[in-house]
Homo-oligomer: A and B are copies of this chain.
Amino acid sequence: MTSEESLTEPEVNPLHPPMTPRTSHPVTMREVAEGAGVSVATVSLVVNNKKDARIGAGTRKRVLDTIRELGYRPNALAKNLVSGSSRFIGLVADAIATTPFAGQIIHGAQDEAWKHGFVLLVANTEGNEPAEKDAISMMLEHKVRGILYSTWFHRPAEIPAALHETDFVLVNCFSPDSDALAVVPDEVHGGREATDILLRKGHRRIAFINATIPAPAKDGRLQGYREALESAGIAFDPHLVFDAFPDQEGGYEAVEELLKRDVTAVFCYNDRMAMGLYDGLKQQGLSIPEDMAVVGFDNQEVIAAHMRPPLSTVALPHYELGAAGVRLLLGVDEPAGSSVVKIECPPVERDSVGTNILTGPRSRWTSTT
């Protein structure tokens, strides 16, 4: 190599593979600056087009062009470093996989986070302690804006100590002995909605098959059932309420008990139970909703919408839980009153409740999904 390398014009040479420098290491702001013949500061100002920055039209264009030419992408890591705070929100779930529900929580959280310029960092712990600790550590190390700690079914939860090192919101669970922010489904309201569906059809004797296992849902839905009856001026008959294991088997087996009750309608603790109940009823030669109107709970799309007839139910607002969790975390929503925010469970009417038993088949309540 001879010394006079600067013989060539110092004009912008056809630098880099003309477009998309895919193989090479990422293009930095400095390279853009050099390419455009300006300082990095200028590039930064253009990139973020700061309102009060005074940049000449020509320069701006030159920078923008160079950016396009080089395929520059800002480095979020560096950006976060200097700004001190990252745009991450952590989501710790105890069962991403076990259930379709978790997906909805993630979805809601991710949408809402995105809306505010944040991205989701997810970790699955499959309920195991050390994994959970690791997950939280990792998130803290990434300086997340905060953490959503979610469970796949509504329940009380212990708050992992590390969570206190950052902002956090419990999603689908709550802490009985602290006033941590939490978002949970409004079980009582849901129970009322479920019962109301049947009441609106004119049913007066409505059974409620509750779960055998203790849970906020168990108590809440029962209370909702009672409240709905009361509002309708119907006396609560304890005889119409009994327990079964909350799955298909349980529902199937509950049929015998149910038929002793002399009711025209039944509210099942969940959709799976209703699914089993369907089988049992059909086996008895009974038809739904003519012989027995049925509503479930959970709105498990895969089953509820496609049973024969499609099952009326009440939806668990998982999407909303995730979204509300993020809003609470970011302070977009303020918790009113209690630190536990309750989200309504919207009713979903399908054919399993038929038409109004009083006004006949022309009821306007029937809907198909």
Interface string of A24-37 (1 = CB under 8 A from B): 01100000000000
Residues A81 and B73 in contact, CB atoms below 8 Å apart = no
Interface string of A66-89 (1 = CB under 8 A from B): 000001011111101100101000
Residues B107 and A96 in contact, CB atoms below 8 Å apart = yes
A140 within 8 A of partner (CB): yes
Residues A103 and B97 in contact, CB atoms below 8 Å apart = yes
A77-B73 contact in complex given A97-B319, A282-B282, A302-B300, C-beta closer than 8 Å: no
Residues A302 and B272 in contact, CB atoms below 8 Å apart = yes
A247 within 8 A of partner (CB): yes
A308 within 8 A of partner (CB): yes
A181 within 8 A of partner (CB): no
A164 within 8 A of partner (CB): yes
When chains A and B are docked, how far (Å) is the Cα of A96 from the Cα of B348?
A: 22
When chains A and B are docked, how far (Å) is the Cα of A236 from the Cα of B3?
A: 79
| List of B residues within 8 angstroms of A104 by Cβ | 97
When chains A and B are docked, how far (Å) is the Cα of A129 from the Cα of B22?
A: 22
A111 within 8 A of partner (CB): yes
A22-B164 contact in complex given A119-B123, A307-B248, C-beta closer than 8 Å: yes
Interface set, chain A 103-150, CB cutoff 8 A to B: 103-104, 106-107, 110-111, 114, 119-124, 134, 137-138, 140-143
A20 within 8 A of partner (CB): yes
Q: Which residue of B lies closest to A110 (CB)?
A: B124
- CB within 8 A of A249: which of B119, B120, B306? B306
Residues B71 and A77 in contact, CB atoms below 8 Å apart = no
A219 within 8 A of partner (CB): no
A297 within 8 A of partner (CB): no
A275 within 8 A of partner (CB): yes
When chains A and B are docked, how far (Å) is the Cα of A83 from the Cα of B247?
A: 51
Residues A306 and B106 in contact, CB atoms below 8 Å apart = no
Residues B111 and A124 in contact, CB atoms below 8 Å apart = yes
When chains A and B are docked, how far (Å) is the Cα of A275 from the Cα of B80?
A: 51
A292 within 8 A of partner (CB): no
Q: Which residue of B lies closest to A249 (CB)?
A: B306
A276 within 8 A of partner (CB): yes
A300 CB to nearest B CB, Å: 6
A102 within 8 A of partner (CB): yes
A99 within 8 A of partner (CB): yes
If A97-B107, A275-B306, A279-B308 are given as contacts, then 14 extra A-B residue pairs at C-beta distance below 8 Å, sorted by A number, are A20-B165, A25-B84, A73-B137, A76-B142, A77-B86, A78-B81, A100-B100, A106-B124, A110-B123, A120-B122, A120-B123, A272-B302, A282-B282, A303-B303
A/B interface sample: 8 pairs, CB < 8 A: A20-B164, A75-B81, A76-B143, A77-B142, A97-B103, A103-B106, A114-B123, A302-B303
User: Taking beta carbons and an 8 Å cutoff, which residues of A are in contact with B?
Assistant: 20, 22, 25-26, 71, 73-78, 80-81, 84, 86, 96-97, 99-100, 102-104, 106-107, 110-111, 114, 119-124, 134, 137-138, 140-143, 164-165, 247-249, 252, 272, 275-276, 279, 282, 300, 302-303, 306-308, 319
